[in-house]
Every structure is written in structure tokens, then in C-alpha cells.
Chains A and B, each alone.
Chain A
Amino acid sequence: MNEFNDQNVEVYGEVAVEPILPQKKGFAIASLVLGITAIVPGCCCSYIGIILGILAIVFAILFMNANKDIVVSKGMAIAGLILGVVAVIICTVLLIIGFSSMSSGGYQDMIDQITNSIESAN
């Protein structure tokens, strides 16, 4: 029993405790920034929102892969991942709604309404 305890003391005594730092933290920051940018102005700009959202997802996955063996805070990367996914979903839904309304003639109706209102105003 004493030998066991002595061994443990020696082992723990030799190991220097160093703080575990996240690898490639820039990827997490980039993911968060791209996620926010993908939603706030990106959603207005059709494909740009999708591109920014996909980039946010890619950077978040790269950060998580680089730190999968280490217990570090992944809050920023997760937030970037969620915002990226949400931005991609919103842009895709808007494009689907838009193109479906175009194909069903809703777009032409809208143009006609705008043209009529402009003509009546003049």
C-alpha cells in the first residue's frame, strides 16, 4: 500500500500541469463572425448569405476537428455553426418561396400591381 502511494506521488510530482489552450482559435472567431454576417446583411443578398453561412459551418467544423481530443470551450464555434445553418436555411427557404411564386404567376401579378399603382399615381 505504501509502495502504491509512493509511486503515485512520484508520478504526479513529475507531471507539470500546463493550461490546455484551444488549437486554431481563429477558426472559431471566423465562424462566429461569418455566422453573424450571414444573417444580418447576408440574408438580403441571396447567394451571398448562403456562401457566408456555408463558410461559417466549415470554419466551425474545422475548429471542432482540431480540438476534438481536447476539452475546451467550443461556444463560439457552436454559435457560428448554428447561425450558419440558420442563414443557409433562411436563404434557401426564401429562394424556394420566390421561385415557386414566380412559376405560379405570382411574380407577374406583383409586377402588374406595381405598374398599375405607378400609372395611377402619375
Chain B
Amino acid sequence: MIKKLCTFRNLHILGVLLILGVFAVAAIAYIQHGTAFIDLIVLEPRAIGKCFYRENFGISCPSCGLTRSFISIGKFNFSDAFGYNRIGPFIYLLFILALIFNVFGIFKSRYTRLMGKLVAVYGVAVCIILVISWVLDYFFGV
């Protein structure tokens, strides 16, 4: 049963749904408050969109400001997007590339493998740059 469900096509469909979910979170946040905070009935109010470390300890993590950055990109306000998180727009691009890769995978395009390699290399590069940027920002104030 599980083997039948775990086909490449189904995994690509799951990937598309997850990525659309990320964009949906940003869209709902913007519609509800115009900020990165979300009220969900099933969860504690404003549970999603707030950073655990900033909420509890007052310190910024590497991903702080990503939701606000995504919302700013949605409003085509790129200067604010870079301001909230310097790597935010690049991560937004990563999500778009991953979305294209998964759509290619669903339709079994011949470019799926190439796109997968691109997403993997770009994803690793973005993660490394994100961590370096956070270290420079948090520990050296650059």
C-alpha cells in the first residue's frame, strides 16, 4: 500500500502542495494582518509566523524575517524584502525553482533531472550563504 503511494509522481504532487502551502501561509498572513502573524483557530493564536527564539529569548535565528520578506516580495517591494532578511528573495527563488521542478516531475518532462540538480545545488548554496550571513550579522554585526 505504502509502496504504491510512494511513486515519484505522488512525491512530486506532495512537493507542489507543500510549496504552495508555504506561499499560502504568507498570503493568509498578509490578508489577516498585513504582517507575518497568523491567527489559526486550531493552534494557539499567532502561533505560526513567529520565531521560537525571538519569541522566547529575544534573539534572531537565520530564518528570522523570511515570512515578512516573502510578503514584501508579493507586494513587489524588493528593498523591504532584502531588509527583513538579506537572503529572503533568494529563498523565495528557491521555492519557485522547487515548484517548477515538481511540476516538471508530475508531467515527467525530460528536463526534470536537470531541474533537480539545479534545485539541489542552488538549495545547498542558499543554505550556506544564509548561515554565513546570519553568523556575520549576529556575531560581528556586519
Chain A residues near B (Cβ < 8 Å) = 32, 35-36, 39-46, 76, 79, 83, 86, 90, 94, 97-99, 101-102, 106-107, 110
- In the complex, B79 has a CB within 8 A of chain A: no
Which stretch (B27-35, B58-66, B106-114) binds chain A?
A: B58-66
Q: Is the CB of B56 within 8 A of A39?
A: no
- In the complex formed, the residue of A with least CB distance to B131 is A86
CB atoms of A90 and B123 under 8 A apart: no
Binding site for A on B (CB under 8 A): 51-53, 56-59, 61-64, 66, 91, 94, 120, 123-124, 126-127, 130-131, 134
Contacts of A36 in B (CB 8 A): 123-124, 127
Cα separation A94 to B58 with both chains bound (whole Å):
11
Q: A101 to B62, alpha carbons, bound, how many Å?
A: 18
List chain B residues, Cβ under 8 A from A46.
52-53
Decide: A94 and B120 in contact? CB cutoff 8 A.
no
B46 CB → nearest A CB, Å: 14
